[in-house]
Structure 1
Amino acid sequence: MRHHIVFFALGFIMMLGFSACNSSNNEGTAFQDWDSNQDELLDNNEFDNAFTNSPYFDNWNQDGDQYISENEFYQSYAAMIDENEDGNISNEEWDAAVNSYFSGYDFKVENLMEEWDQNSDGNLSKEEITSSLAESDYFDEWDSDGDEQLSEKEFAKGTFSTWDTDGDGLVQAEEYADWYDSGF
């Protein structure tokens, strides 16, 4: 069950991350810009082409070395939900994120925050999030070649899997809108 909740939490954080990237660096990008054959679906190739021509990878590649390390991966997650950029995720930031993305789900991610809050101060530091996420195999699942870093292609593939919420191998306009139009 913990593994299942972690994946939903990570999906939620990914949506936050890309929403934040979208609002600051990619305004005006519409589904039609990514849908090169205009069939209202993004297959892996369309997604990969559009994604690799967008700023998302560079936003997560903090040291600019052409790869995303495990530490960069998890720290970027933490940074995306830290609205006030104080280095901590408050209950309010966590709850706002949960309410935006998890209304209608049958599980409680609020308990996940309590579990991850190792020093019980009511906030999640970037270190607590990084440490908690590192206990999962999430990064390893994205790192398809096992070299302990994510190339842009691996990052695009993992992102595609996250956005393909129904698992049909395509990102539909509605799935795209789930992260793009979230407004968080």
Structure 2
Amino acid sequence: MNRIKRSILSTCRGYICLCLLPALVACGGGEIEEAQDEALSDDEVMGREMVVADTWDEGMFFEKFAASNKYGSWDLNDDEFLDEEEFTSSFYQTWDLDGDGRISKSEWDTVVANYGVEEADWTAWDTDGDGYLEMAEFEADFAQIGWHSAWDLDKDSMITEREWTAGVYQLWDTDGDNQLDRTEYIHYNKYYGQ
């Protein structure tokens, strides 16, 4: 009789183990994926998060941007605000994709499309006709886009990091659904993800 009980008990244990095996494998798979994420760069992980999330709301966009510390590098006087000069400079630095201190016609074509500045005319901005925008040329026409005053929600002539990200978020939310989907969010890494 004891032998039969042991046999039944052994069979039950085997069956229970067999039933639990898929669950254990599933749990172990999560740990493996998490370990793989640690080996990926931030940009790669962020891209994977985007696949999972599919959309980003304004709060998620702000958190990602704040973690980049781009805003802090533009705030030259460390007062946690961008005055109009710092604001303009932030875009000049951002739009100078190769970081050579000037914006080429090729860079211009890319950024005006990515930021929805359809009414901007290269020849009007490149006043000396040398094929590049220097900071002085950029400043003269950038103010006419009107983003500084439009994004300054509290009308104190200063742009907070939250106002700045809200402005860019609204530019890229082309369908106006208050979510950035993958096609709208695609520009983030090019301009702010490094």
TM-score with structure 2 setting the length: 0.62
| Cα shift at 1:172 | 0.9
Matches within 5 A, 1:117-136: 117-136=126-145
The counterpart of 1:94, out of the listed 90, 101, 105, is 105
Task: Name the residue aligned to 1:53.
Answer: 67
Which residue pairs with 2:54 in the alignment?
40
Corresponding position of 1:79: 93
125-134 or 158-167: bigger deviation: 158-167
Cα distance in 2 for residues equivalent to 1:42 and 1:149: 26
- What does 1:1-184 correspond to in 2, within 5 Å? 27-28=43-44, 30-33=46-49, 38-83=52-97, 85-89=99-103, 93-98=104-109, 102=113, 112-180=121-189
Residue by residue over 1:74-114, the C-alpha shift from the partner in whole angstroms, topping out at 9 and shown as x without a partner, is: 1222223335645433xxx22244158749x9x685xx121
Unmatched tracts of structure 2, length 5 or more: 1-41
Q: CA RMSD in A?
A: 3.4
Select the structure with the greater relative contact order (CA < 8 A; seq sep ≥ 6).
Answer: 1
1:57–1:152 Cα contact (<8 Å) kept: yes
- Partners of 2:133 and 2:176 lie apart in 1 by 31
Separation in 1, partners of 2:50, 2:71: 16
Higher Cα Rg: structure 1 or 2?
2
Q: Distance in 1 between matches of 2:113 and 2:168?
A: 19
How far off is 1:57 after superposition?
A: 1.8
Tell me, in whole angstroms, the C-alpha distance in 2 between the residues paired with 1:155 and 1:108. 21
CA contact (8 A) 2:105 2:131 kept: no
Percent identity, aligned pairs only?
Answer: 25
Is there any run of 5+ residues in structure 1 with no aligned partner, and where? Answer: 1-25
The letter of the residue matching 1:94 is: K
* Contact 1:60/1:68, CA 8 A, preserved across alignment: yes
